[in-house]
């Protein structure tokens, strides 16, 4: 690039739990390799008026809530919408990551894509929409957009002034305090070290589930939250697992590795910065390079002669014709010397489904059992595995009711995989390594803008939250009680059995007694001959649910996204059709457009 050409590119990320941020970092690597000078920019705190200073812009963003911006992007987005800064001369492209199981798939990315175009920026490449397995789609986008961006000839901006009319630049000392924003200083990047003061199992005796009530002390953190928000927890991997993985690698725990968080020992990296309890596709795919680099020697027989010792007569005189299947008579081909690991890898690499099945329930001990002999350095390893991600938990308390603390309702993930007992990373951490009194448990707030109580306390609320879905409704009920809200509260709860999984039974019973809960419906799926789920009870009370909704009531759902929330959604549409006198299409439109989007009276916190 000539001296007066600008080779800079700005890669903005909007990210809540780090996926889009990771992709921004990986995009920077590709951009730098193409001769661009890439800068990764957190949208948080970026001034909308400075956007157009960048002539090449890439936006990589996730979507949260119900089609909303991730938290770090909200301010910038709102300012761009309010100020509409002109973006002529800017070239851009957007990569949106999301999850097709949400109705508003990749909406935040779509909004950015439309907005930048509307403001006059030029789209170099179509927006890329990526589903949960976002790597391949992102890679396709990055590989196509970077060459296009690199090929743009952009002149460097002329120096601001070269005449006599010079301005004196005076550096103004900004007092420290005025630099701070209203936002809490604690974040996913700078989590607060809290103390867990309560940690016990909520399930009844004999239950095969383990659901814990866990209380975090907020101390003097100044952390604030509202009912409906979530708490982010940053887990620490079990040192036993870390030690075992390092042995399986044959690596030195003190080896210094380069990571996204700087240089550190391999041991520290695996404890606090990477996910080693679940193998990923990227690592397994990368193993192919090991086979390609392993020298292999093919041997074949090309000549066979046999001469009798006594007489010197030649009885066999065979020479290879050059044909693949040409062997001397009576020749037995030797056993294949192909490494079985190579055969396994090829079968996984050839078939996505087989790879998915292989990865399910396997950690890196399992994978290294199959492939560890190929030799991986600590650095090889961390370069391919996933970065550690925080996990979110719906807060189960109201700050007015439980001041200075945050309560969670956590379903512990335990399973058997390859003959060993395994746990989810964070739930295993919280259940097994964070007894009451443990300090230094890293947390941050993840506020919601959508899953909130009605502003008007007189409004009725229907809450459907089986299993751990009860968590935010415990917070809502506490808050409604603290506010002395006059609106009625109807709770649908359920799980396997009343004896084993009736979480917060005493509290719920007390709320029924004192009138905080006006109506309670409990669905037990393993109690009698027939499975009863919350949606069955909704259908049973269809007329009354319609009555509440028709009179301005709010409808909330929390918990399992894949099954429960979908069935509840369908049941709600059926209820509106049947009792609201609408056709099926009208009821769908009413629920998904009017209730959900326009009036925001149907709110979901599903995961
Ligand atoms: C906004 C939000 C709110 C949430 N609120 C809550 C809440 O209130 N309470 C709550 O408990 N959770 C909640 N979650 C879920 C929570 O964030 C975690 O996803 C969950 O606790 C699991 O985390 P983990 O780190 O323990 O498991 P991970 O390490 O993430 O492992 C989970 C994975 O383990 C694997 N796995 C699970 N079972 C098996 C098996 N039998 N065999 C093989 N593999 C298996 C699956 O791949 C599964 O995806 C919420 C999530 C979101 C996004
Ligand atoms: C509570 C929650 C809400 C979400 N809402 C949406 C959504 O409306 N649309 C979508 O496409 N993806 C949605 N997602 C999926 C995220 O965008 C996806 O997990 C993404 O990889 C997160 O990236 P990040 O770590 O950079 O924030 C949601 C995820 C969660 C946990």
Which tokens belong to 8?
A: 């800079």
Q: What pLDDT sits at residue 170?
A: 35
CA 424 to ligand 1 center in whole angstroms: 7
Atom of ligand 1 nearest to the CA of 235: 25
What confidence tens digit (pLDDT) does each residue in 59-105 have? 999 999 878 999 889 889 999 999 999 999 999 999 999 998 787 89
| Tens-digit pLDDT profile for residues 438-460 | 999 999 998 887 899 999 999 99
If you average pLDDT over residues 483-503, what whole number do you get?
Answer: 98
**Closest ligand 1 atom to Cα of 469:** 8
Domain with CATH 1.20.990.10 in the chain: 239-290+338-384
Distance, CA of 73 to CA of 69 (rounded, Å): 6
62 C-alpha to ligand 2 centroid (Å): 6
Say yes or no to pLDDT of 479 above 90.
yes
Contact in structure between 438 and 193 (CB atoms under 8 Å): no
Q: For residue 104, which ligand has an atom nearest its CA?
A: 2
Residue 562 C-alpha to ligand 1 middle, in angstroms? 13
**Nearest atom in ligand 2 to 22's CA:** 26
Angle between the 239-249 and 364-371 helix axes, to the nearest 10 degrees? Answer: 10
Pocket of ligand 2, beta carbon within 6 A: 15-20, 62-67, 70, 97-99, 102, 104-107, 607
**What is the position in ligand 1's atom list of the atom closest to the CA of 413?**
26
Q: How many CB atoms lie within 10 A of CB 478?
A: 22
Identify the band that residue 360 occupies on the pLDDT scale cut at 50, 70 and 90.
Answer: very high
Question: What angle do helix axes 340-350 and 352-359 make, rounded to 10 degrees?
Answer: 120
The reply to whether CATH 1.20.120.1200 applies to domain 461-606 is no
Partners of 123 in the β-ladder: 92
Q: Which ligand has the nearest atom to the CA of 228?
A: 1
- pLDDT score recorded for residue 2: 55
Paired strand residues for 128: 95
Ligand nearest to the CA of 446: 1
Please give the pLDDT value at position 287. 95
DSSP per-residue string spanning 83-97: H----TT-EEEEEEE
Contact 61, 20 (CB under 8 A): yes
Q: Please give the distance, rounded to the nearest whole angstrom, from the Cα atom of residue 607 to the centre of ligand 1.
A: 9
Residues 6 or more apart whose CB falls under 8 angstroms from that of 494 comprise 466, 467, 522, 523, 524, 525, 532, 533, 534, 537
Least distant ligand from the CA of 135: 2
pLDDT at site 172: 34
For 8-157, CATH gives 3.40.50.360
| Superfamily of chain region 239-290+338-384 | NADPH-cytochrome p450 Reductase; Chain A, domain 3 (1.20.990.10)
pLDDT at 332 over 80: no
What pLDDT does residue 19 have?
87
Delimit the CATH 2.40.30.10 region(s) of the chain: 192-234+390-446
Ligand 2 site-directed mutation target among 15, 17, 72, 99, most atoms within 8 Å of CB: 99
> What would the mean pLDDT of 141-150 be, rounded to a whole number?
97
Query: Range(s) for CATH 3.40.50.80 in the chain?
Result: 461-606
Q: Is the pLDDT of residue 284 over 50?
A: yes
- CB count, 10 Å around CB of 130? 27
In angstroms, what is the span from residue 236 Cα to ligand 2's centroid?
A: 23
For CATH 3.40.50.360, the residue range(s) in the chain are: 8-157
Report which of 11, 65, 19, 68 is spatially closest to residue 43, judged by C-alpha positions.
Answer: 11
pLDDT at 337: 67
Q: What is the CATH number of domain 192-234+390-446?
A: 2.40.30.10
Q: Which atom of ligand 2 is nearest to the CA of 70?
A: 27
β-bridge mates for residue 62, sequence order: 97
């Amino acid at each position: 690039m000539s001296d007066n050409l600008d080779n800079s590119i700005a890669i903005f990320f909007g990210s809540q739990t780090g996926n889009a941020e990771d992709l921004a970092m990986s995009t920077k690597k590709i951009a730098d390799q193409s001769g661009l000078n890439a800068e990764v920019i957190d949208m948080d705190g970026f001034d909308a008026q400075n956007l157009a200073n960048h002539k090449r812009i890439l936006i990589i963003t996730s979507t949260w809530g119900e089609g909303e911006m991730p938290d770090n992007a909200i301010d910038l987005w709102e300012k761009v919408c309010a100020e509409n800064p002109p973006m002529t001369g800017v070239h851009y492209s957007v990569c949106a990551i999301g999850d097709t199981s949400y109705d508003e798939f990749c909406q935040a990315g779509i909004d950015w894509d439309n907005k930048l175009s509307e403001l006059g920026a030029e789209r170099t490449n179509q927006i890329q929409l990526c589903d949960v397995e976002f790597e391949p789609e992102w890679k396709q986008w990055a590989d196509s957009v970077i060459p296009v961006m690199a090929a743009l000839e952009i002149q460097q901006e002329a120096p601001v002034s070269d005449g006599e009319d010079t301005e004196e630049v005076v550096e103004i000392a900004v007092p420290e305090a005025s630099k701070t924003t209203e936002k809490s200083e604690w974040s996913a990047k700078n989590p607060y070290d809290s103390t867990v003061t309560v940690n016990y199992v909520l399930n009844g005796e004999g239950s095969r589930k383990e659901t814990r009530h866990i209380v975090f002390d907020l101390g003097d953190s100044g952390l604030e939250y509202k009912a409906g928000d979530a708490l982010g927890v940053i887990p620490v991997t079990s040192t036993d697992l870390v030690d075992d993985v390092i042995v399986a690698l044959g690596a030195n725990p003190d080896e210094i590795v380069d990571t996204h968080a700087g240089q550190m020992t391999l041991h520290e990296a695996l404890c606090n910065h990477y996910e080693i309890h679940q193998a990923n596709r990227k690592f397994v795919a990368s193993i192919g390079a090991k086979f390609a680099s392993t020298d292999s020697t093919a041997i074949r027989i090309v000549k066979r002669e046999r001469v009798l010792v006594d007489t010197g007569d030649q009885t066999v005189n065979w020479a290879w014709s050059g044909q693949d299947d040409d062997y001397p008579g009576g020749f037995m081909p030797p056993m294949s010397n192909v490494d079985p690991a190579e055969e396994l890898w090829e079968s996984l690499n050839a078939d996505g489904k087989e790879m998915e099945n292989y990865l399910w329930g396997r950690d890196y001990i399992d994978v290294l059992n199959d492939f560890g002999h190929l030799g991986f350095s600590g650095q090889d390893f961390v370069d391919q595995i996933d970065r550690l991600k925080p996990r979110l938990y719906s807060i189960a308390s109201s700050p007015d009711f439980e001041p200075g603390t945050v309560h969670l309702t956590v379903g512990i993930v335990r399973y058997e995989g390859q003959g060993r007992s395994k746990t989810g990373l964070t739930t295993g951490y919280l259940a097994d390594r964070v007894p009451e009194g443990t300090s230094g448990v890293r947390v941050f707030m993840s506020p919601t803008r959508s899953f909130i109580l009605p502003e008007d306390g007189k409004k009725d609320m229907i809450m459907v939250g089986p299993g751990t879905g009860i968590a935010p409704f415990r917070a809502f009920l506490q808050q409604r009680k603290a506010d002395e809200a006059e609106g009625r509260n109807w709770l649908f709860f359920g799980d396997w059995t009343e004896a084993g999984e009736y979480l917060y039974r005493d509290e719920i019973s007390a709320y029924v007694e004192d009138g905080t809960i006006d109506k309670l419906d409990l669905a037990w799926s393993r109690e009698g001959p027939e499975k009863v789920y919350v949606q069955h009870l909704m259908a049973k009370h269809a007329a009354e649910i319609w009555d509440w909704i028709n009179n301005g009531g709010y409808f909330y759902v929390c918990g399992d996204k894949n099954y429960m929330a979908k069935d509840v959604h369908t049941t709600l549409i059926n209820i509106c059709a049947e009792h609201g006198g609408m056709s099926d299409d009208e009821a769908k439109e009413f629920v998904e457009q009017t209730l959900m989007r326009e009036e925001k009276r149907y709110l979901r916190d599903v995961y």
